Chains A and B, each alone.
Chain A
Amino acid sequence: MTTTHSRTAGPAGSSEPTAPAAPAARKTTYREAMREAMREAMRADERVFLMGEDVGRYGGCFGVSLGLLEEFGPERVRDAPLSESAFVGTGIGAALAGLRPIVEIMTVNFSLLALDQILNNAATLLHMSGGQLPVPLVIRMTTGAGRQLAAQHSHSLENWYAHIPGLRVLAPATLTDARCVLAPALADPDPVLIFEHGSLYNVSGDLPADPGPVDLDHAAVRRPGTDVSLITYGGSLPKALAAADDLAADGIGAEVVDLRTLRPLDDATVGGSVARTHRAVVVDEGWRTGSLAAEISARLTEQHFYDLDAPVERVCSAEVPMPYARRLEQAALPQADAITAAARRTLGEVGEEPG
């Protein structure tokens, strides 16, 4: 089966998903929200420490940990040598011995150097030891494209990790999630991977004064709608919301579901949305083949075949290593107009007025 999706270059979605501003809300950025979460965790629990490349003196390669070294000192904000496998494995060992490490890896592409430790140790030790060795480790890393960083800094490989039993995989897409997923991740007795889309760090908006807690077991409906479900996560959420705006202008109500947790997937929320709208577009910055979008599409077919009024559409990245040139890079990525077009196809297939 061949499916052709047009993916014309266009501006990245600029719509900023935020919770409705509460009276005491204050302006912040995704980066600052994540930093605040780490600061809070380290103040609350002396077992928590941060380890990774350039997390200390440099302040984190994307500036997330700026200032933490000054507050917590070099023992707890630990600059590691450029040895992904060693410092991720060291995090695993420290977790086994009772600490609560947060390990930062610069990008998901670099995490492949630590894939052995993440898969063969972190995800596996509990089972392989017959339940003796839970690994309460949090690994944070940047993912995704859009910043012209080319093919070794831009890929979206979180679905590789979402394939692995034993891991919990998170993709906070909003300021509130950036601020609130770390605490429950640290409280999880098992390894948790947090994927931070690079395009989100500078996103600013209002953070409610009391934003938490965030439920890691459930996806979030970011915008209600009745005609089509746009199912997405991470850096694609702003694009899906922008597409929903475009569709609304034509009277089409798109419901936007933010997966938030990529493993385990929340079938109930995704399926519940599709049971209401009967149409689904899955937006995923990973490559289409073997993608998370493929998994969700398969689950919808298994669980909601008779709810669907049209084939599930997928908007994914073009199957090419991420190119540098802006025009090419934008053409390779899911864009709002491609999402809008896919949503229209799901409506056109049944030839009915939305409603």
Chain B
Amino acid sequence: MSATRTPRTGRPTSRPGRAAAHRLALLESMLRVRRFEERCVELYSAARIRGFMHLYIGEEAVAAGVNEALTDEDAVVSTYREHGHALARGVPAEAIMAEMFGKVTGCSRGRGGSMHLFDVSRRFYGGNAIVGGGLPLAAGLALADRMTDRDRVTCCFFGDGAFAEGEFHETANLAALWGLPLLLVCENNLYAMGTALARHQAQTDLALRAAGYGMVAWAVDGMDVLAVEEAARRAAEGVRAGGGPHFLEMRTYRFRAHSMYDSDRYRDKTEIEQWKERDPVEGLARRLREAGELSDEARTALEDRLAAEIDAAVRAADQAPEEPIEDLLKYVTSPVKASRP
């Protein structure tokens, strides 16, 4: 199967054809995540995928939009809810599916599962299941770029729950103090697992608090991919211009439960329905249809293409071999030790 890299269309221009194509590419990027995860739910129910699995459905605009502001040389550090970030970054669906099937062709050779997707060739540094744990690591990637004069941005995704972790505050201070080229993207989906934002934060305006560290920070409508992209581009440009870390609070919402184990008792069903009216995928599709940029035929063709891509990914993952037991201890330490004099 060929790699399913999201088409990177570059900066939208005023030319209507290019701009429309760009919007279609954003739709495709979000829809790929949506359809991929819907298939994951089926496979989880069929016990083909095990462990903890956290769905991004409802939040797709953030991954798709932010990715447009990043180049291949930039780095991405993510969370355990990272299928969307990985797909948007161009990690092949097949490699992600194989990982969740625990296969050797998985993007972490079956060692990581859903929460630990890695692809160094795309500078995708995972896949961190300790809330806030990726933030210091992202600061280090950014510090290395600063110290070696490389013009690169490190983008770190994390949730509103991470705002209660010391690692966020330690990293925010250190990154601002040292002016690191870091793009901090907080996906505020209003719940730290089952605890509502107002029940875990004394001050719920997260951008305001980030600004307190001396960073440029603002809140964005995370359900509007075009708004996300525009904000991410501005922030990334600010970082590239030497403006130090920038912080974006993406106000978003997950439509599904926290994980496959979550019975979602802590949210009001009408709240979920209200947010679904602002579905980022269907919202953009509707706008494109109304603007005459997406015909019913084109939508059907896109759906068919993504379904075929995901079918192929599932088939390949299904047929892929498992790592032999003899390799259980592989990758605990590096194969060639340089310690011996």
Residues of A at the B interface (CB closer than 8 Å) are 49, 75, 80-81, 83, 85-99, 101, 116-117, 120-121, 125-134, 165-166, 168, 184-185, 187-190, 212-217
B1 contacts chain A at the CB level, 8 A cutoff: no
> B78 to nearest A CB, angstroms?
13
Residues of A within 8 A of B138 (CB): 93
A184 to B125 CA separation, bound complex (whole angstroms)? 27
CB distance from A135 to the nearest CB of B (A): 9
Is B116's beta carbon under 8 Å from chain A? Answer: yes
What are the residues of chain A within 8 A of B133 when measuring CB–CB?
89, 116-117, 120-121
Known contacts A81-B174, A86-B171, A116-B133: does B333 contact A166 (CB below 8 Å)?
yes
A94 touches B334 (CB 8 A): no
Within 8 Å of chain A (Cβ to Cβ): is B237? no
Min CB distance A23 to B, Å, is 22
Check B109 against A131 for contact (C-beta < 8 Å).
yes
* B173 and A130 contacting across the interface, CB-CB below 8 Å: no
Would you give the 0/1 interface string for B135-146, flagging 1 where the beta carbon is closer than 8 Å to chain A?
111111111110
A187 touches B143 (CB 8 A): no
**Are the C-beta atoms of B127 and A128 separated by less than 8 Å?**
yes
* Interface residues in chain B, defined as those with a beta carbon under 8 Å from any beta carbon in chain A: 75, 106-112, 116, 118-120, 125-128, 130, 133, 135-145, 147-148, 154, 166-167, 170-171, 173-174, 177, 330-334, 336-341
Contact A129–B147 (Cβ < 8 Å) = no
Residues on A with C-beta less than 8 A from B109 are: 130-131
A residues near B174, Cβ cutoff 8 Å = 80-81, 83, 86-87, 90
Q: B139 and A90: CB pair below 8 A?
A: yes
- In the complex, given contacts A85-B136, A189-B338, what are 6 additional A-B residue pairs having Cβ atoms less than 8 angstroms apart? A75-B147, A86-B167, A93-B137, A93-B141, A96-B137, A188-B338
Given A86-B136, A92-B137, A96-B137, decide whether A189 and B341 contact each other with a Cβ distance below 8 A. Answer: no
CA distance A168 to B333 in the complex (A): 9
CA distance A81 to B108 in the complex (A): 34
Contact yes or no, B140 A91, CB < 8 A: yes
Residues of A within 8 A of B338 (CB): 184, 187-189
Q: Shortest beta-carbon distance, B124 to chain A, in Å?
A: 10
- Chain A residues whose CB sits within 8 angstroms of the CB of B116 once the complex forms: 128-129
Note all chain B residues with C-beta closer than 8 A to A188: 334, 337-339
Which A-chain residue is minimally distant from B341 (CB atoms)?
A213
Contact: B340 with A129, CB < 8 Å? Answer: no
Top-6 shortest CB links A-B: A93-B140, A89-B136, A130-B109, A97-B144, A213-B341, A86-B170
Partner of A168, one of B154, B171, B336, B339: B339
A186 to chain B, nearest CB (A): 9
- Determine whether the beta carbon of A89 is less than 8 Å from that of B112: no
Which of B75, B137, B341 has the most A CB atoms < 10 Å from its CB? B137
